[in-house]
Homo-oligomer: A and B are copies of this chain.
Amino acid sequence: MSDKKITITRTALQLFINKGIHAVGINEVIKQSKVAKKTLYHHFPSKEVLIISTLQYRDQLFMQWLEQRLLTVDAPKLAIIEIFYALDDWFNSRVTTLGNFHGCFFINACAEYQDPDCAINRCCKTHKSNVQDLVEKYVSQFTANADSAALLTKQICILKEGAITTALVQQDLQAALKLIEVVKLLLRGG
Contact = CB atoms under 8 A, between A and B. Distances in A.
A182 interface: yes
Given A20-B114, A128-B169, A158-B162, 15 more contacts: A22-B112, A103-B110, A107-B168, A124-B169, A125-B171, A154-B178, A155-B179, A158-B166, A159-B159, A161-B166, A161-B169, A164-B165, A165-B165, A185-B185, A185-B189
28 contacts: A18-B114, A20-B113, A22-B23, A22-B112, A102-B114, A103-B111, A107-B168, A107-B169, A108-B111, A111-B112, A112-B112, A116-B171, A125-B171, A129-B170, A154-B175, A155-B179, A157-B166, A158-B163, A158-B175, A160-B162, A161-B165, A161-B166, A161-B169, A162-B163, A162-B165, A164-B165, A185-B186, A185-B189
Contacts of A182: 155, 159, 182, 186
